[in-house]
Every structure is written in C-alpha cells, then in structure tokens.
Amino acid sequence: MTVDNLEKELKQGKLNSIYLFYGEELYLLESAVKKIKKLFGELILGINYIQIDETNVNNIISDIETPAFGFDKKLIIVKNAGLLKGEKKANSKLNNNLQKKIAEYIKENIETIKKSTILVFIEENISKCELAKIIEENGEVCNFEKLKPIDIKKRLKAICNAYEVNADERTLELIIETSGTNMQNLINEIRKLIEYTGKGGTITKEAVEKLTTKEFEARIFDLTDELGKKDIARAMEILKELIYNKEPVQKILITLYNHFKKIYLTKLCMEKNRDIISILKLKPNQTFLVSKYKRQAGYFKINELRKILGELINLDNNYKSGLIDINIGLEAILCAYI
C-alpha cells in the first residue's frame, strides 16, 4: 500500500485490523499513527491501548488475548521491537522463535483479531520473514520512504492552498533546496512563510531567502558556490557561521570532502557522458541535486578538484597527528583559491 492510499483510507474513516509501517519518512509515519489513534477513539493506556517495544514484546500474544474491559476493541502498537528482521539479522535465536510464534498465532487467530484488536507494527526497517509475510496477507504494509521532490511540492502546495496563500513551483523548489527533504522541517518552514505572507498573499523568493533556515548541506553548497566564484571573503564568512552555529569542525571537513568528491565525479561524468545519478548513488528524493552539482562542476577544473581533495585529506591526517589546527587548516585551503 502506498502512503497516498493509506492516507486516503484513513481520511475516509477506514481502519484495518493489522498494519505494518516502516521507512525513513518518520513525519508521515507518525502522522498516520496519530490518525489511527484519532479514528480509534478514546484511549486508556493498559486497558484498550497497549504500547509494546523490545522490553515487553514477549507479552504481545497475552495482550491480544486479554479483554479490553468495557470497550469493543483495543489498539496495540508494537514499535521498534525488532520482530521483523530476517533470521540472519534477528537479535537472537529467542527473538527468531518469538517472531515465528507470533506469525503462527496471527495466522491461526486472524478472525478473532479482526473482531477485537487493531494491531500496528512499526519498525525502522524490515527484512523478508514469516511475520512480515503473514501481516501482508492479512493486513496492510506501508513503506514510508523519503518523498521525491515532485511529491513534496504537491504536499507543500496543498498546505498553502489550505491557508489561501499562493506559491509557484519554483518557489516551492527553492524551499526544498534550502531546507532539505525532511517533511517535519519543511512543514515548519512552510508554516512560517504562510504566517509571514498572510492570507491572499504570495510567498516570494525573497521571503524564502530571508526567513527559511538552511540545512547544513545547503550551507555547504553556498560555501562551494562562493569558492567557485572566487569570493573567498564570503566563503570564509559562511565557514565561520557554520562554526558559530556549533557545527563540529570535523563534520564540516568530512562533508566538504564528500561534497567535492561528488563534484569531481560529476565533472568526470559530464566529460564522459555517464549517468550522474547512478554514479553519485543519489536517492529518488535527491535527483534535484544533479543540476546543482553540474553547475558547481563548471566552476572548477579537474586538476583543481583533485588538488582540493588532496588538501582536505592531508588536513585530516595532519589534524589527527596534532600538526595543525583544523580551523586554520580549513581557512588556509579556502584562501588558496583567491
């Protein structure tokens, strides 16, 4: 089941007996869980609402079988209990046995479960196992994978429309480029812009640049842009802002190295007509970065990129050996491209 179909069902007030949610997009996952709770109605912990994790997962069958005392059904949420990993990845043989036991129990008692329980399994990731197969056969499985930019734009546009605020496609793209693809962050940013713009207004590029909080990776793109344009003063200013905002300098160094490595690979792909997305191993929600990498690759020659990568590696080695202060080293690398 797709996230859109799940949200449509919940909007219609339809509740299934068994769900399995997993994936990286935690905001949408948690939103779905909240909607299930709201549709379920009054929740009394320990009576008709049971929370299970790895510490009490052994109680799951007895919790299903225990009556909901005064209520028609109970809601049981099993979160990060480690039950849906494959045999080779399971924590222990004991966990494997429990996984099989629960799978068998659901298979044999599915009709009873449908009458008395709504069971929601939540995991960060899953592997093919008997329990996952049984849940898929008898319930709904939904992968909350990171959204693609086109889907993020639709959601941001829908929020703007709900508040009667206008935003064109390019402005929405700019918000994503600036604040990343994390839905929780984006919801916060779009609400801030809506509040600033007001009903009937239009979110502008200037408002986005003025009000949105740039994610760390976006600031690295900014720093690289200024370096490519030979505006060393501005590049240094961005570096100092990152340090002032308490970003670990080692993290800045590693991120810069990885960023310039991607620019270097992009440069090679452009020269040899290779597929940039596959070479950079970009996820579907990251493909919008290709144009930015290509633009930045145009700032540097191949030998310059090799030199920068070499200097960043040397700085890392010298810093770890106590031969140089990492802050001074980074500034020296930036100043070398005046």
Residue 173 has pLDDT above 90, yes or no: yes
> Cβ–Cβ contacts within 10 Å for residue 91, how many?
11
Average pLDDT on 110-115 reads: 93
Considering the domain architecture, whether residues 39 and 99 belong to the same structural domain is answered as yes
Residue 337 has pLDDT above 80, yes or no: no
Task: Tell me the residue range of the domain where 106 lies.
Answer: 3-143
Considering the domain architecture, whether residues 114 and 156 belong to the same structural domain is answered as no
pLDDT band at 329 (very low <50, low <70, confident <90, very high): very high
Domain boundary at 143, 161, 190, which?
143
Q: Which two tokens stand for residue 307?
A: 């030199």
> Cβ–Cβ contacts within 10 Å for residue 228, how many?
18
Considering the domain architecture, whether residues 194 and 228 belong to the same structural domain is answered as no
Q: Tell me the pLDDT tens digit for each residue of 11-43.
A: 999 999 999 999 989 999 999 999 999 999 999
Q: Tell me the pLDDT tens digit for each residue of 204-258.
A: 999 999 999 888 989 999 999 999 999 999 999 999 999 988 899 999 999 999 9
Average pLDDT on 104-128 reads: 92
CA angle 70, 74, 80 (to 5 degrees): 150
Rounded to 10 deg, the angle between the 326-335 and 232-244 helix axes is 160
Query: How many residues are listed for the chain in this entry?
Result: 338
Q: Are 72 and 40 in contact (CB under 8 A)?
A: no
- Pairwise CA distance, residues 37 & 287, whole Å: 35
Residue 92 has pLDDT above 60, yes or no: no
Considering the domain architecture, whether residues 206 and 122 belong to the same structural domain is answered as no
Q: Residue 214: CB partners within 8 Å, gap ≥ 6? A: 178, 179, 222
Residue 89 has pLDDT above 90, yes or no: no
Considering the domain architecture, whether residues 258 and 325 belong to the same structural domain is answered as yes
Q: Residue 216: CB partners within 8 Å, gap ≥ 6? A: 242, 247, 251, 255
Output the pLDDT for position 93.
53
Q: Tell me the pLDDT tens digit for each residue of 175-208.
A: 998 998 889 999 999 999 999 999 999 999 999 9
Q: Residue 258: which of 215, 312, 195, 298 has the closest Cα?
A: 312
Q: Residue 94: CB partners within 8 Å, gap ≥ 6? A: none
Q: Tell me the pLDDT tens digit for each residue of 297-313.
A: 999 999 999 999 999 99
Judged by DSSP in three states, 257 sits in: helix
Q: Which two tokens stand for residue 95?
A: 């966990």
Considering the domain architecture, whether residues 165 and 236 belong to the same structural domain is answered as no
Give the domain CATH number at 194. 1.10.8.60
Q: Are 145 and 124 in contact (CB under 8 A)?
A: no
Q: Locate tokens 């399995």: which residue?
A: 20
- Pairwise CA distance, residues 138 & 135, whole Å: 5
Give the domain CATH number at 53. 3.40.50.300
The radius of gyration of the chain's CA atoms, rounded to the nearest angstrom, is 25
DSSP string across 19-41:
EEEESS-HHHHHHHHHHHHHHH-
Q: Residue 232: which of 333, 305, 308 has the closest Cα?
A: 333
pLDDT band at 83 (very low <50, low <70, confident <90, very high): confident
Say what percent of the chain tops pLDDT 90.
Answer: 76
> Cβ–Cβ contacts within 10 Å for residue 194, how many?
19
Considering the domain architecture, whether residues 138 and 14 belong to the same structural domain is answered as yes
Domain boundary at 116, 143, 170, which?
143
- Pairwise CA distance, residues 197 & 175, whole Å: 14
DSSP string across 155-220:
HHHHHHHHTT-B--HHHHHHHHHHH-S-HHHHHHHHHHHHHHH-TT-B--HHHHHHHPPPPHHHHH
Considering the domain architecture, whether residues 258 and 328 belong to the same structural domain is answered as yes
Domain boundary at 94, 112, 143, which?
143
Residue 260 vs residues 60, 263, 286, 310: alpha-carbon distances, Å: 50, 5, 17, 11
Output the pLDDT for position 263.
96
Considering the domain architecture, whether residues 108 and 33 belong to the same structural domain is answered as yes
Output the pLDDT for position 84.
83
DSSP string across 229-241:
TT-HHHHHHHHHH
Output the pLDDT for position 90.
44
Considering the domain architecture, whether residues 132 and 14 belong to the same structural domain is answered as yes
Output the pLDDT for position 88.
46
Considering the domain architecture, whether residues 84 and 166 belong to the same structural domain is answered as no
Give the domain CATH number at 319. 1.20.272.10
Considering the domain architecture, whether residues 224 and 298 belong to the same structural domain is answered as yes
Residue 94 has pLDDT above 70, yes or no: no
User: How many domains is the chain built from?
Assistant: 3
